[in-house]
Structure 1
Amino acid sequence: MDKIFTENPQKQFEFDAKVAGVFDDMVSRSIPYYKEVLGLCADFTLMYLKPDSTLLDLGTSTGAMLVEIASKAEFPLNLYGIDNAESMLEIAQNKLSAYEMCANLICGDILEVDFPKSDVVIANYTLQFIRPLQREKLVQKIYDCLNPKGVFIVSEKVMVEHKELDFKMIQYYLANKKKQGYSDFEIAKKREALENVLVPYSEAENRAMFLNAGFSCVETLFRWVNFASFIVMKG
């Protein structure tokens, strides 16, 4: 169970072995409707895949998205997952092996690793950790690796441009975290550790970034307060 921020961390947040060990519990309690979003993303992903299609999961962490897709697929797929935390990928491999599923897991920086030509790319709560100056380059890289009529499915924490409403949404979200069992101390310490590490864009900023990369269509697939999922189409 996630107890990382019951102590007083002296560093910025990072996806180290300590976080990897509690990651599944952390995200399920920190991201509203996390499991439902995974299911939704998997269902829409499979609508755009056929036998032997290639799917790329960026920031795959402990492999939850890959397992969700592989468990629902009724035909063979070429699954790839990239993450820069080896400890996360070890857990992902153990999960896949337990379910007798196969995927190509790559440990590396998604800004540097070559992407396979893909039919669908997924990035759930990943872009928000990429520095703004590098984020547009990454989205362009995703666009370039997609086959014609390829699909990009992305989930992100989002900010609201109306400052007062943004504040109210954040407070509502923090209250939701308390309902999940986090203390005020844990919530405050995690926010402090994530300062300048997680940098959210607004829904409009995300939409503009996708369109500027060349994508032809951006639709909101799911939204809860300050979290959103988008389905982005390559024309």
Structure 2
Amino acid sequence: MNHRDAIYSQPKAQIKDFCFDDSVAQVFPDMIQRSVPGYSTIIDNIGQIASRFAQQNSAIYDLGCSLGAATLAMRRMVKKADCQIIAVDNSTAMVEKCKLHLNAFKSDIPVEIRCEDILDTQIRNASVVVLNFTLQFIAPEHRNSLIQHIYDNLLPGGVLVLSEKLRDKHQPMDELMIELHHEFKRSNGYSELEISQKRSALENVMLLDTQQDHENRLRTAGFAEIATWFRCFNFMSMVAVK
């Protein structure tokens, strides 16, 4: 059963750093739908993109899988023979709920769910890799090496789907995007208190790059074909093809 997100609805004497613990896992579907514009569109199209780029006898990685929404979309859409999805998250609470979600839907595509740090994940024989709002939670000093590891172990013609919340290098535009996003959250029922306390909780754990930062990192790793296929306010999703 999914619950309504009310984690930050009451004043807190101390705002702790945000983490994907059991309280977040319980309300995550509601939290993500009410917080990320276009989330359902992103998930559906991750399935569509995976169906186009998945190769026979290859692995598909969902790095930072949370409750498995992208994994479910890919498992539903991919028709290539002998594919395997490897879903990875370092939160025990998220992984346990992910297993329950995936077990509720039957498919011919096997899924291996791992509870581990994605920086320790050995990517092999991959045709599709998904980082869906994951890189922003990785320490900035490890982001280049992670993208390089993904590129090095993608099959020719393989794709990386990278979804991220962005910051704008120009402060007026950054402030505009933030305010438009906050208005989106207000329209979905979040109070000023919830918006403020959630922002404080994320301040030290979700460190944002600009879109140019992401493009530069992808090109440095070796990706030549890069496109932004989704953008709303300060949220975007890109595809990068090897």
Q: Structure 2 length normalisation: TM-score?
A: 0.93
| Gaps in structure 2 of 5+ consecutive residues | none
1:5 matched residue in structure 2: 8
Query: What is the alpha-carbon distance in structure 1 between the residues aligned to residue 79 and residue 49 of structure 2?
Result: 14
1:48 matched residue in structure 2: 53
- Residues 177-186 or 3-12, more deviating: 3-12
Which of 199, 202, 205 aligns to 2:210? It is 202
Answering whether residue 194 of structure 2 is matched by residue 191 of structure 1, we say: no
Displacement of 1:52 in angstroms is 3.5
| Gaps in structure 1 of 5+ consecutive residues | none
1:26 matched residue in structure 2: 31
Displacement of 1:113 in angstroms is 2.5
Query: What letter corresponds to residue 79 of structure 2 in structure 1?
Result: E
Q: Structure 1 length normalisation: TM-score?
A: 0.95
Query: What is the alpha-carbon distance in structure 2 between the residues aligned to residue 145 and residue 19 of structure 1?
Result: 32
Query: What letter corresponds to residue 74 of structure 2 in structure 1?
Result: I
2:239 matched residue in structure 1: 231
Which of 99, 110, 116 aligns to 2:105? It is 99
Query: What is the alpha-carbon distance in structure 2 between the residues aligned to residue 139 and residue 50 of structure 1?
Result: 20
1:16 matched residue in structure 2: 21
Displacement of 1:71 in angstroms is 1.7
1:79 matched residue in structure 2: 85
Pairs within 5 Å for 1:164-183: 164-183=172-191
Displacement of 1:75 in angstroms is 4.3
Query: What is the alpha-carbon distance in structure 2 between the residues aligned to residue 173 and residue 10 of structure 1?
Result: 21
Query: What letter corresponds to residue 72 of structure 1 in structure 2?
Result: M
Displacement of 1:165 in angstroms is 1.2
The RMSD of aligned alpha carbons is 1.3
Answering whether residue 69 of structure 2 is matched by residue 61 of structure 1, we say: no
The 3 A distance-change label for structure 1 pair 74 and 114 is closer
Q: Name the % identity.
A: 35
1:217 matched residue in structure 2: 225
Query: What is the alpha-carbon distance in structure 2 between the residues aligned to residue 121 and residue 68 of structure 1?
Result: 13
Q: Is the 8 A contact 2:47 2:78 kept in 1?
A: no
Query: What is the alpha-carbon distance in structure 1 between the residues aligned to residue 213 and residue 103 of structure 2?
Result: 39
* Deviation sequence 1:158-177 (CA, Å, 0-9, x none): 11122111101110110110
Q: Is the 8 A contact 2:167 2:210 kept in 1?
A: yes
Displacement of 1:72 in angstroms is 2.2
Query: What letter corresponds to residue 161 of structure 1 in structure 2?
Result: K
- Residues 118-127 or 36-45, more deviating: 36-45
Query: What is the alpha-carbon distance in structure 2 between the residues aligned to residue 95 and residue 116 of structure 1?
Result: 25
Query: What is the alpha-carbon distance in structure 2 between the residues aligned to residue 112 and residue 210 of structure 1?
Result: 20
Query: What is the alpha-carbon distance in structure 2 between the residues aligned to residue 121 and residue 113 of structure 1?
Result: 12
